[in-house]
Amino acid sequence: MPKKALIFGVTGQDGALLARLLLNKGYVVAGTSRDAQLSGFHNLRVLGIFDAVRVFSANPTDFRSALDVISRTRPQEVYNLAGQSSVGLSFEQPVETFNSIGIANLTLLEAIRFLGDKSVRYYNAGSGECFGNTPIPVTEEAPFHPRSPYAVAKAAAFWQVANYREAYGLYACSGILFNHESPLRPERFVTQKIVRAACRIASGSREKLVLGNMEIERDWGWAEEYVDAMWRILQQEHPEDLIIATGTFRKLKEFVAEVFKAFGLNWEEHVTQSESLLRPSDITQSRAQPAKAQKSLNWTAKSTYRDVARMLVAAELERLRQ
């Protein structure tokens, strides 16, 4: 019998890419949206897999709703990729951010415990944001120092998973993912904002791309590779929390330069900074050491920031062409 997987947050970038990966591996895949009748499931349609995924309405912060969809689908693997995903927006909506990440994660863990099937394997989408500023590449043993409401919620969810694993014997683990991108990201994410503005400027627009702090450092990877790591995390004999990252890091202005270079443009002529886009508190350096994932999962990121920039540009040009 094929394995069954349930993805909370199947409409997002990671959810859609994971659904495609699992379908290609022969899984029966179900996914949730808060209102499946109103959701357009745009990303599933872009990937051409909408008809292959069973979709359900479910609110992961509502215990009865979560319990119902898990009971109806009876998955061997549950992936929690739902929740408010923007660090910047979390400063404006801290309560909603914590509810959609921390409370939702706790609700799903409790629903799985309530059903009593310890064969179910649970994956929680953690975040490198939990570590805060990391001038030295961090390992899984590094302490958390979250610097945004988003990171606070992700840190809480991480410890909930660890507690349910230790206290109740659930197979539950977190992937501590650093930045990962794809064409499925909406424009509120800075990488897509940069790519789309550069495309418009290269086509003759006289606009200026306005950004915040361009000295920040990030570890950018390719999302398709990262969802493969998610799947691998749940295939281990014993549950384990792992950092997923490329192990390389660049300043935002270097990423900007790569994008504009793809169009033969000098970024400094088209980009300006604004203090209005600075966050109340921000991470200046985000560096990771993914050696444990390389050893445990036999997984290594193939694409670095330069590859990511070029692939995003190519995808945007293809989208505009179509």
Q: Give the CA radius of gyration of the chain.
A: 19
pLDDT per residue over 47-58, tens digit each?
999 999 999 999
Q: Does 220 have pLDDT greater than 90?
A: yes
- What is d(CA 41, CA 55) in angstroms, rounded to the nearest whole number? 9
Catalytic site residues?
A: 127, 129, 150
What is the structure's pLDDT at 109?
98
pLDDT of amino acid 43: 96
With a pLDDT cut of 70, the percent of the chain lying above it is 100
pLDDT digits (tens, 9 = 90+) for 77-123: 999 999 998 998 999 999 999 999 999 999 999 999 999 999 999 99
End-to-end Cα separation, the chain, in angstroms: 39
Kindly tell me if the per-residue pLDDT of 171 is higher than 80. Answer: yes
Supply 94's token pair.
Answer: 């801290």
Residue 188 banded pLDDT, cuts 50, 70, 90: confident
Class of domain 185-218+248-285+305-321: alpha beta
In this predicted structure, the answer to whether residue 282 has a pLDDT above a threshold of 90 is no
pTM assigned to the model? 0.95
3-state secondary structure of 272: strand
pLDDT number for residue 322: 82
For the segment(s) 4-180+222-244, the CATH number from 2.102.10.10, 3.40.50.300, 1.20.272.10, 3.40.50.720 is 3.40.50.720
Q: Compute the distance between CA of residue 273 and CA of residue 161 in angstroms, rounded to an integer.
A: 39
- What is the residue extent of each domain of the chain? 4-180+222-244, 185-218+248-285+305-321
Average pLDDT over residues 163-186: 97
